[in-house]
Amino acid sequence: MSGFNQPDNPTEPPADPATAGHQPSHASNGDPVSDVARERLDADQLPEISDERLQAMSQDELVDVGSKIDGVEVVSREYRLKPGSRAEKGAERRVAMCFSLAALLVLAFLVLYIWFPWKFTDTKPGEFTLASFYTPLLGFTLGGSLLLIGAGLVLWSRDLMPHEVSIQARHEGASPEIERLATAATLQQGVESIGIGRRTMIRRSLMGAGGLFGLVLLVPVIGGMIKNPYKDNALYYTAWRKNMRLVRLNGTPIRPSDMEPGALETVFPGIEGSMTPNTIADSATMLIRMHQDQADKFQARPGQEDYRWNEYVAYSKICSHLGCPVSLYEQQTGRILCPCHQSQFDVTRDAKPIFGPATRSLASLPIKLDADGYFVARHDYREAVGPAFWDRERRP
């Protein structure tokens, strides 16, 4: 079915060119139709074409020439719905409807992503809050928009684009200029067949949906400009605040005289009202009174020289390896031990790890005394407590 004369039986010798309609190759004479192209064509399929004639060719003619050069035979080409008919208009509206709904869903996704209340709140089993619907709604809107764009494209292709069956004989070698021109014309005709130029309703709705969908890629950037993603992020903050007392689990505050040298007290933020496990879970802190000789050789981290009060230091109880509670304190050696994987931290070197898998010091809580002589925090930990995570240093 190709445009070339091919023997039915490939084992038969080629037919006589004179009887088969072939002509010998032309020598190059400046004609834009190259020798390479001519050799692939029957002379009666591609007559001599001058420069003038080539430039004056219509798009359809160029497409025909290009098809012949490429050895393409268009077997059939037809529209499923009659162009300009009511059925075609209806199909066009359905496609545009899909794209428009997709655009609306993308807009809904952006609004939900930025403004929907997503933070976890305490609930009883079986209870739901708005935050429970945050992720499902994001999935529904983004997935729905993708689905609708896909459905629109399928409907467009099925109902509005011409259905064409073509056969092409493959060839080797570089493409001459005429082939490039013809290919461009073919592509142009393809775009016109799709109807993107004249179907303004579809074009606008697709551009709306596609453009808005592109915005999804910018969501993390735009969302970050509208709302600081680090603000109030539980990973970066604990419940400690400026001048908050250090209290035992029963709520009693601590004075320096309450602790003997070498003693350790587990303390929590003295929050007004009730303390719930969620608010203090990551705030558990070890208040340690070093022996005087340990305090004398204490080495503070740069920038944290004023975090301790005399021989008293306060470190996070959350291990910097994988987050176990570090609660074993060897007062004679000044070592804090984590029972999970045996990491050890040196209290005289600002809780620097000296053994085991932990690689970061325990977070240090800056302390001082208030007017009544009780320990208070100067402010929250300066770094995220517990195990490392990829952007933990970017705390605002």
Site for ligand FES, rule CB under 6 A: 319, 321-324, 338, 340-341, 343, 356-358
CB-CB contact of 90 with 162 (8 Å): no
CA distances from 275 to 234, 237, 284 (A): 16, 16, 12
Helix axes 134-155, 200-226, angle to 10 degrees: 160
Which residues 6+ apart lie within 8 Å of 75 measured at CB?
A: 1, 165, 166, 167
Cβ pair 353, 345 in contact under 8 A: yes
Nearer to ligand FES, 264 or 324 (CB): 324
How far apart CA 264 and CA 285 sit, in angstroms, is 10
Is the Cβ of residue 336 or residue 377 nearer to ligand FES in the bound state? 336
CA 346, 367, 329: angle at the middle one, nearest 5? Answer: 30
The stretches of 283-340 forming alpha helices (DSSP H) are 292-296
To ligand FES, the closest distance from the beta carbon of 218 in angstroms equals 39
Which CB, 101 or 358, lies closer to ligand FES?
A: 358
Of 191 and 235, which has the nearer Cβ to ligand FES?
235
Torsion of CA 193, 198, 204, 206, to 10 degrees: -10
Contact status, residue 358 vs residue 319, Cβ threshold 8 Å: yes
Token pair listed for 186: 């073919």
Distance in Å, CB of 263 to ligand FES, minimum:
22
Q: Are the C-beta atoms of 270 and 290 separated by less than 8 Å? A: no
Q: How near is the Cβ of 344 to ligand FES at its closest, in Å?
A: 9
Closest separation between CB of residue 215 and ligand FES, Å?
42
Q: In what order do the strands lie in the sheet with 285-289?
A: 246-247, 264-269, 285-289, 312-316
Residue 107 or 324 having the CB closest to ligand FES: 324
Find the shortest distance in angstroms from Cβ 324 to ligand FES.
4
Q: Which is nearer to ligand FES, 223 or 357 (CB)?
A: 357
Cβ nearer to ligand FES, comparing 104 with 340: 340
- The 8-class DSSP code of residue 97 comes to H
What is the smallest separation between the CB atom of 367 and ligand FES, expressed in angstroms? Answer: 23
Alpha helix stretches (DSSP H) within the chain: 17-20, 35-39, 51-56, 59-69, 86-115, 134-155, 177-194, 200-226, 277-280, 292-296
Q: For 247, how many CA atoms within 13 A lie in the half-sphere containing its CB?
A: 17
Q: What is the nearest approach in angstroms of ligand FES to the Cβ of residue 320?
A: 8
Min separation Cβ 319 and ligand FES, Å: 3
CB-wise, 216 or 324, nearer to ligand FES? 324
CB of 337 to ligand FES, least distance (A): 9
Taking the least distance from each CB to ligand FES, the nearer of 289 and 321 is: 321
Chain centroid to Cα 50, Å, comes to: 54
